[in-house]
Amino acid sequence: MSFQPARARFGWASAVAVGAFAVVFVPMAGRVAAQHAEREVEVAALALDSLPDAATRVTIDTQTKVEGEGSVRVDTAWPTTVCLAEVERPDVDGAQLVYSAMVKPALEGSASLEMWAHVGGGQYFSRNPSVAVSGRGDFQQLEIPFLLQKGQRPDKVTLNLIVQGKGTVWVDDVRLIKRPLSGAAQAPTPRSAAKPEVDASSGDRPPYPVVVSTSPERGATGVDPSVDEIRVTFDRPMRRGDHSWTGGGDDFPTIDKARNVAWPDDRTCVLPVKLRSGKFYRVGINSSSYENFKSADGKPAAHTAICFTTAGAKRSVERRAAAPQVKVLSPEPGATDVDPSLDRITVEFDSPMGEGMSWVKADGGWPGAEGRPAEWSRDGRSCSLPVDLDPGLTYKLQLNGSHYVNFQSKWGVPLAPVEWTFTTASE
């Protein structure tokens, strides 16, 4: 397995084609321009005669690095996506494929990873904007996973860097890692637009640990910045000493390295932190890559996040801590006469969302259409799942689940699981 840097694919055949195109098209374009000269106004002219004129530059920095002889440095004047490498036919199937990189920010905005897997003629991506770096800081390790079922081998994997903002980002120590499928509940899968999950719980008590309380409370505003710990309590005894406090970037609190993570009892874990006033914070509990919060019998805790703001935050910042809500479901929940020819179902949220999604299978028929990916609207408020419905059937699914929480606000606050049931009309 080897990395192949992205490069332009432009050969002699392309040059000949462009030349022929110019011979035929340019004179025609000239006549059209002459006919409309009175209405033509030049809006902007970009000479691009030197690198400073370009909005994005990718260079090698031999001074700022983690290992080797240098790192990739990206300087950009606006949001951009940079292809760092392509890996042809990696020897992996029936496993998690994890894209890992050390990323250092000096920018206004955030930077995150994106991975595209080319499997069986289709293209599928994995990205999580809440796992990012922002502002100014040292190198941090970012990871995003991709789940491959047994027998699914990617023909090619593309590794990208997404920059949402402007400034400089350094990337070093890029790795593709193969990990077991166990603990990969949130990882995307090329099998369908959503990875079905069936909750094995019976009764009201699930078989996995769940969070029963946090301090600060989830969604809290006006938290005293002198608070020096984040506390989470589970519904059952846990493995003391193990934990997965997840996240990164400017929204993750500064860890007080003078103190250690503590377990005052077998259900409560405490993270020592240093907070600042007027800030939004997000701290994840377990994730697709890290599931060390486990019960005494080894079951990973449900994924969630503690989001809050400290005193002094502006109203616009305080709104970031609110959990998103479903505004409209189409078809309506409980509908009994849905047209079986319907080709997609849609959820509309009350606020802009991140790019992830978790369409979760519950007891009942699964409506998702094989090989057709779900899509977000341009404003990030609506998500549609292509479906293949049969007449006279009841379909039941969830938006998010215990270990599937990729429906999140643009600030990384997870949607509370929502059940959705409807029945198609009989023929």
pTM (predicted TM-score): 0.57
Give the Cα separation of 282 and 246 in Å (integer): 9
* 290 within some domain: yes
* 314 within some domain: yes
Residue 82's CATH number: 2.60.120.260
Q: How confident is the model at residue 96 (pLDDT cuts 50, 70, 90)?
A: confident
Extract the tokens encoding 424: 């198609």
Mind listing the pLDDT tens digit for each residue in 104-120? 999 988 899 988 888 87
Mind listing the pLDDT tens digit for each residue in 2-23? 444 443 333 333 333 334 333 3
Q: Are residues 421 and 348 in the same domain?
A: yes
Could you tell me the residue range of the domain that residue 364 belongs to? 323-427
Instruction: Report, as an integer, the average pLDDT of 74-90.
Output: 91
- Number of folded domains that form the chain: 3
Q: Are residues 264 and 151 in the same domain?
A: no
pLDDT at 48 over 90: no
DSSP assignment string, 141-197: EEEEEEEE-TT---SEEEEEEEEEEEEEEEEEEEEEEEE-STT-TTS--TTSSS---
pLDDT at 277 over 80: yes
Q: What share of the chain is helix, strand, coil (3-state, %, to 5)?
A: 10, 45, 50
**What pLDDT shows up at residue 215?**
95
**Minimum mean pLDDT among 161-170, 237-246, 279-288, 369-378: which range?**
369-378
* 245 within some domain: yes
What average pLDDT is seen over the chain?
A: 82
SS3 69: coil
**What pLDDT shows up at residue 335?**
94
Q: How far is CA 128 from CA 110, 205, 248, in A?
A: 12, 30, 12
**Minimum mean pLDDT among 175-184, 260-269, 314-323: which range?**
175-184
Q: How confident is the model at residue 93 (pLDDT cuts 50, 70, 90)?
A: confident
| Among 321, 346, 368, residue at a domain's last position | 321
**What pLDDT shows up at residue 195?**
42
* 111 within some domain: yes
| Among 321, 351, 382, residue at a domain's last position | 321
Which residues fall within 8 angstroms of residue 260, CB to CB, at 6 or more apart? 272
* 272 within some domain: yes
Extract the tokens encoding 251: 């929204």
Q: Are residues 217 and 278 in the same domain?
A: yes
* 8 within some domain: no
Instruction: Report, as an integer, the average pLDDT of 207-222.
Output: 94
**What pLDDT shows up at residue 27?**
39
pLDDT at 47 over 80: no
Residue 226's CATH number: 2.60.40.1220
Which residues fall within 8 angstroms of residue 359, CB to CB, at 6 or more apart? 193, 194, 368, 374, 385, 397, 398, 399
Q: Are residues 68 and 165 in the same domain?
A: yes
Q: Are residues 164 and 242 in the same domain?
A: no
Residue 12's H or E segment, with its range, is helix 12-35
**Minimum mean pLDDT among 35-49, 110-124, 405-419: which range?**
35-49
Burial (CB count within 10 angstroms: exposed 0-12, middle 13-18, buried 19+), residue 256: middle
**Minimum mean pLDDT among 88-102, 139-153, 332-346, 399-413: which range?**
139-153
Instruction: Report, as an integer, the average pLDDT of 176-202.
Output: 50
Nearest-5° angle of CA 239, CA 244, CA 248? 170
Give the Cα separation of 174 and 85 in Å (integer): 9
When comparing pLDDT for 121 and 348, which is higher? 348
Rg of the chain, C-alpha, whole Å:
25
pLDDT at 60 over 90: yes
**What pLDDT shows up at residue 182?**
54
pLDDT at 258 over 70: yes
Instruction: Report, as an integer, the average pLDDT of 313-317.
Output: 95
